[in-house]
Chain A
């Protein structure tokens, strides 16, 4: 599997976090000075990202997979509307993946297997969390941004996922949720930031350390580490425990905020995967809603 191109789109309304909350240390902790809010639908934001891909309609796309949570429509799948709007042919499959911050990494795991038949896939991430937030909740309002990305994935037998490790724990559902029922937290998104941070320390850090150990045992050089960009306190809290050169653990939370399933593709646009193959690999780690955590190593098969 190769990722041929990634394009992105951010919510058009730029909001200064300091204008939302009078707490000077807030930005110091999150590292996020501006968040972005979309004044359009999630699908519309996704269309913007897709339309930045040159000649998308001419590409032999066979599958359109949209990672989105929560979607604009309960039905039909939002990927179907998206596929129509960007001019994909009708002889394709299009469906949604209802997953959050681990969604892109998990989608790559699925796409790699699906590429055996659907030899070129459009993988889209799109979330508009800001419309679900309680305005008074600074732990969510100060970090989340609305965004979308579009990545074309194609068959390539030389490169792909050579290691993967997943964790899914529904018992921690209450730490990050938005219920369909308005009775639950008034229908707003709820996030227990401290407990999720602890989850990243107790679960995500060991998972990534295991992946690094796999690379060491197989004499693989790690060229890049792509972590979900939750916020500075989360990213730095993980980064300090990783036995790698810190300059290859990329960061962009300070530029875009937490764009949910889009954080890693935003990183990929700025730091494309090393596809030279050989012994150089990349580690991608998405974690969050579920709670879930997925870590992969990408390199030469």
Chain B
């Protein structure tokens, strides 16, 4: 559904941070902007960009890293 590079682009857009500050191994606690509200922005942007391809679920809401998000989205 989404590859790692696309997800990193989307997360950096949602959080309003430089793409270079997000790596494939990044976790939410390492990025100040990736707090509860930041994560909400990520989910909202995912829904906007992926539309029908995007299946909302509670696991996505509790994901705390790029890796976890990718796993949830590509299940």
How many angstroms between the C-alpha atoms of A197 and B62 in the bound complex?
11
B56 in the interface (beta carbon within 8 A): yes
Please state if B16 and A201 are interface contacts (CB–CB under 8 Å): no
A residues within 8 A CB of B56?
198, 201-202
A residues within 8 A CB of B41?
25, 29, 233
Main secondary structure of the interface of B (DSSP, over half): helix
* Given A138-B37, A193-B36; 7 other pairs, CB 8 A cutoff: A25-B41, A29-B44, A192-B62, A194-B40, A198-B57, A233-B41, A237-B44
The 4 closest A-B pairs by CB, nearest first: A198-B61, A194-B39, A193-B36, A139-B36
Q: A139-B37, A193-B40 are in contact. Are A25 and B60 (CB under 8 A)?
A: no
User: How far in angstroms is the closest Cβ of chain A from B73?
Assistant: 14
Chain B residue, CB-CB nearest to A29: B41
How many angstroms between the C-alpha atoms of A137 and B36 in the bound complex?
9
A-B contact pairs, 21 of them (CB 8 A): A23-B33, A25-B41, A29-B37, A30-B37, A137-B36, A138-B35, A138-B37, A139-B40, A142-B37, A192-B61, A193-B40, A194-B39, A194-B61, A194-B62, A195-B58, A195-B61, A197-B40, A197-B43, A197-B44, A198-B58, A198-B60
- Size of the B side of the interface (Cβ < 8 Å), in residues, is 18
How many angstroms between the C-alpha atoms of A249 and B57 in the bound complex?
25
A191 in the interface (beta carbon within 8 A): yes
User: How far in angstroms is the closest Cβ of chain B from A172?
Assistant: 9
